[in-house]
Structure 1
Amino acid sequence: MRVTFVGVGEAFDEALANTSLFVEARGAGGRATVLLDCGFTAGAAFFACPAIDAREREAGPDAVWISHFHGDHFFGLPYLLARWHEAGRDRPLAVFGGPGAGDTVATVVDAAYPRLRAKLGFALDVREVAPGGAFDLAGLAGRAAATGHGVPCLALRLADGERALYYSGDGPPTPACRELAMGCDLIVQEAYGLAPGIPGHGSLEEALDLARLSGATALAVVHVRRELRRERGQDIRRLLAAAGHPSGLPEPGAVIAP
């Protein structure tokens, strides 16, 4: 499993693209690729990411995961669809999201480009996921749990038979999230603040605790409040390094292979 951090920023960070991850793994049907979230600024960041081969960017992933329906997590989807259409993509694209994903994706894509869905050269297969049960995500084993965000948000556990990652989307971990993260090799947790208590958001303290409880060998904190990352970034790195996670505050283009 190889995880590339396309973007690591929060919603309105002018310097860092919205948090988005490109996952490469060996699934049941062979090699599988999944893009986790694609907000306002993540689409352009994906096509500019030097850590992803240019041919891979133009071809696009097998699937896209949308953790929740806030703009900084899925408003980049129309950009991506249009770009892959222009590139001549013809293989289907699966888009996974929570309840209501079908109508919500259609509304956003139509608002951006009213005739795009009708002329796409590839099938767009939107699949709705509920917390709890297992599902197949491009040949990888997926499970989801509701986080403590302000709107319904699903954390994702994605496994390839050898390695597993946990991606929080937004929100502090709930008891169901902690169960989902158990045994994962990599934890990617939204940490808007340093300490718990920010409504709808996670924290560095909770991320460190989740990594410890899950037994993860690697932790990455993302979506850190822009002022906090600029002013306390070195402090955050020191805390992460002291806990055994020296690469825990990734920059765009960073790669982790747990």
Structure 2
Amino acid sequence: MRVTFVGVGEAFDEALPNTSLFVAGMTGESRRTVLLDCGFTAAAAFFGCPGLSEADCREGPDALWISHYHGDHFFGLPFLLARLQEQGRARPLFIHGGGDVAAMVAAVTDLAYPNLREKLDFELVCLEARPGVPFAMAGFAARAALTGHGAPCLGLRLETRFGALYYGGDGAPTPAGRDLASGCALVVQEAYGLEAGVPGHGSVAEALETAEAAWAGALAVVHVRRELRRERGEDIRRTLSGASIRAFLPEPGDVFEV
């Protein structure tokens, strides 16, 4: 499993692209890829990401996961679709998300470019994920659980041949989300604040507690409030370095492999 951090920022960070991950892994004997979230600034970051191969940027992912319908998690979709169209994509793009995913994909795409969907040379296949119900994404076994966000948001466990990933989207960890993180090679958790109690969001302390209790192989902390990351970034790194597991604050383009 290879996880590339396309973006690691929060919604309105002027320096860091919105949090987005490109996951490549094996299912059977085949390599498959998934892009996790695609916000305002994430689509542009994807096509310029130094951690991705030229082929992956040209071909795009096999599937896209939308954790929830806030702009910093899916408003980059029209950019992604238009660019893939220009680059000659022909194979379907599978888009997974929570309730009304097909309607939300249509709405944001049509608002940006009213004629784009009918001009696409590739099919958009929208598939609804439900908490607690196993499903498949790009051939990977997957499960989702609600997180503690202000809007309905789904954390995701993705099983590849050589390791599992948990991506929490936005929101404080929930018991169901902690269950999905159990034994994962990598847990990616948002930490808008330092300590628990940030309304609708998680914290560095909760991210560490979740990953350690889950016996995860590693923890990546993302979506840190921009002022906090600028002013207390070194403090956060020191805190993470003292964890009982590998824990880090990734930069755009960083790669994690197992």
TM-score range, shorter chain: over 0.9
Contact 2:216–2:245 (Cα < 8 Å) also in 1:
no
Q: Which residue type is aligned with residue 181 of structure 1?
A: A
CA RMSD in angstroms, aligned pairs only: 1.0
Q: Which residue type is aligned with residue 209 of structure 1?
A: E
Question: Do the aligned partners of residues 246 and 143 (structure 1) sit closer, same or farther apart at CA in structure 2, a change above 3 Å counting?
Answer: closer
- Residue in structure 1 matched with residue 33 of structure 2 by the alignment: 33
Runs of 4+ more than 2 Å apart = 244-247
Gaps of 5+ in 1: none
2:164 equivalent to 1:164: yes
Q: Which residue type is aligned with residue 4 of structure 2?
A: T
Q: Which residue type is aligned with residue 165 of structure 2?
A: L
For normalisation by structure 1, the TM-score amounts to 0.98
- Residue in structure 2 matched with residue 201 of structure 1 by the alignment: 201
Looking at structure 2, the residues matched to 45 and 203 of structure 1 have their Cα atoms a distance apart, in angstroms, of 25
Looking at structure 1, the residues matched to 232 and 27 of structure 2 have their Cα atoms a distance apart, in angstroms, of 39
The DSSP-based 3-state class of the residue aligned with 2:79 is helix
Determine what percentage of the aligned residue pairs are the same residue: 64
Question: Do the aligned partners of residues 184 and 246 (structure 1) sit closer, same or farther apart at CA in structure 2, a change above 3 Å counting?
Answer: closer
The DSSP-based 3-state class of the residue aligned with 1:236 is helix
- Residue in structure 2 matched with residue 55 of structure 1 by the alignment: 55
Q: Deviations over 1:128-161 (max 9, x none)?
A: 1110011010010100000000000000000113
Give the C-alpha shift of residue 244 in structure 1: 4.5
Q: Which residue type is aligned with residue 176 of structure 1?
A: A
Question: Do the aligned partners of residues 4 and 230 (structure 1) sit closer, same or farther apart at CA in structure 2, a change above 3 Å counting?
Answer: same
Looking at structure 2, the residues matched to 71 and 179 of structure 1 have their Cα atoms a distance apart, in angstroms, of 27
- Residue in structure 2 matched with residue 108 of structure 1 by the alignment: 108
The number of residues matched between the two structures is 258
Contact 1:41–1:72 (Cα < 8 Å) also in 2:
yes
Q: How does 1:1-258 map to 2 (within 5 A)?
A: 1-28=1-28, 30-244=30-244, 248-258=248-258
Question: Do the aligned partners of residues 181 and 122 (structure 1) sit closer, same or farther apart at CA in structure 2, a change above 3 Å counting?
Answer: same
Give the C-alpha shift of residue 162 in structure 1: 2.8
Contact 1:28–1:140 (Cα < 8 Å) also in 2:
no
The DSSP-based 3-state class of the residue aligned with 2:199 is coil
Q: Deviations over 1:160-192 (max 9, x none)?
A: 133001000000111111111111110000000
Looking at structure 1, the residues matched to 245 and 124 of structure 2 have their Cα atoms a distance apart, in angstroms, of 38
Looking at structure 2, the residues matched to 84 and 235 of structure 1 have their Cα atoms a distance apart, in angstroms, of 40
The DSSP-based 3-state class of the residue aligned with 1:207 is helix
The DSSP-based 3-state class of the residue aligned with 1:171 is coil
Give the C-alpha shift of residue 247 in structure 1: 5.5
Looking at structure 1, the residues matched to 166 and 246 of structure 2 have their Cα atoms a distance apart, in angstroms, of 18
Q: Which residue type is aligned with residue 217 of structure 2?
A: T
Contact 1:29–1:139 (Cα < 8 Å) also in 2:
no
For normalisation by structure 2, the TM-score amounts to 0.98
Give the C-alpha shift of residue 48 in structure 1: 0.6
Gaps of 5+ in 2: none
Looking at structure 1, the residues matched to 28 and 162 of structure 2 have their Cα atoms a distance apart, in angstroms, of 12
Looking at structure 2, the residues matched to 252 and 53 of structure 1 have their Cα atoms a distance apart, in angstroms, of 14
Q: Deviations over 1:169-221 (max 9, x none)?
A: 00011111111111111000000000000110000000000111110111000
